[in-house]
Amino acid sequence: MSSPPLRAVIVPVTPLQQNCTLLWCTETMKGAFCDPGGDLDRLKSAAAEHGVTVEKIILTHGHIDHCGSAGILAEELGVPIEGPHEDDLFWISRLEDDGHRYGVVGKPFQSDRYLVDGDTLTVGNLTLNVRHCPGHTPGHIVFHHAESKLALVGDVLFQGSIGRTDFPRGNHQQLLDSITQRLWPMGDDTHFVPGHGPMSTFGHERASNPFVADRVLAKA
């Protein structure tokens, strides 16, 4: 039986228990870290354990628990950073201050490639689609590998909840629109890795999520 084209493991990092995802192309064993917010020794050990050569770092948004250590890791590994959307530059610029506030290492960085809706990026021989999903932050993006029916959604959507919108430039209606217009069309059978907590499927959330279930939004 042939192995699936994409494999992934989730490594929770920082005191905020943020889901960093190590994903890789099984054909080439080249991979990427999505949202390496901290605990870099644990992340590098995970890559070594699975025999993955990390070729880039990809970021969903600019919050400290998702990208505080991204620049440090990129420098250590000699790899580029792709993402988030440049509307999150103001978050990235304040990583050091936010790090002191949350007790997490934070270092501002320059991304090698800021992403916009409709972009694609590669990991080994895999191609991931990029969707701009503002609301939690203005520059939040989501990565989707259609063939694997897998999405990395950061803090847009969680099992049973949605992202906070009370941060600077957060927008509740924008977040709802991002979920219903950009995530749901990926398909009910798509599994997603949220920024915190357990995985779920879009179909499960459409049926049961108290914020964005179809029946809830139909009453709004």
Tens digits of per-residue pLDDT, 58-83? Answer: 999 999 999 999 999 999 999 999 99
State mean pLDDT over 84-110. 96
The structural domain count of the chain equals 1
| pLDDT at residue 65 in the model | 97
Question: For 2-38, how does the pLDDT look when each residue is reduced to its tens digit (9 = 90+)?
Answer: 789 999 999 999 999 999 999 999 999 999 999 999 9
Question: For 171-215, how does the pLDDT look when each residue is reduced to its tens digit (9 = 90+)?
Answer: 999 999 999 999 999 999 999 999 999 999 999 999 999 999 999
State mean pLDDT over 112-133. 98
Task: Flag whether 55 is in a domain.
Answer: yes
Task: Flag whether 178 is in a domain.
Answer: no
| pLDDT at residue 220 in the model | 72
| pLDDT at residue 91 in the model | 98
DSSP string, the chain: -PPPSEEEEEEEETTTTEEEEEEEETTT-EEEEE---S-HHHHHHHHHHTT-EEEEEE-S---HHHHTTHHHHHHHHT--EE---GGGHHHHHTHHHHHHHHTS-------SB---TT-EEEETTEEEEEEE--SSSTT-EEEEEGGGTEEEEETSEETTEE----STT--HHHHHHHIIIIIGGG-TT-EEEESSS--EEHHHHHHH-TTT-HHHHHH-
State mean pLDDT over 36-44. 98
Q: What's the mean pLDDT when you consider all of the chain? A: 97
- Say which residue the tokens 């803090």 belong to: 155
Task: Flag whether 133 is in a domain.
Answer: yes
Share of the chain above pLDDT 90, in %: 97
Task: Flag whether 102 is in a domain.
Answer: yes
The answer to whether residue 1 scores a pLDDT higher than 90 is: no
Task: Flag whether 94 is in a domain.
Answer: yes
Task: Flag whether 59 is in a domain.
Answer: yes
Q: Which of 100-104, 142-146, 189-193 has the lowest mean pLDDT?
A: 100-104
Task: Flag whether 200 is in a domain.
Answer: no
The answer to whether residue 219 scores a pLDDT higher than 90 is: no
- For residues 117 and 98, the answer to whether their CB atoms sit within 8 Å is no
pTM: 0.98
Task: Flag whether 171 is in a domain.
Answer: no
Residue range(s) defining the domain that contains residue 77: 6-154
| pLDDT at residue 156 in the model | 98
CATH number at residue 27: 3.60.15.10
Residue 55 CB partners (closer than 8 Å, separation 6+): 30, 31, 32, 79, 123, 124
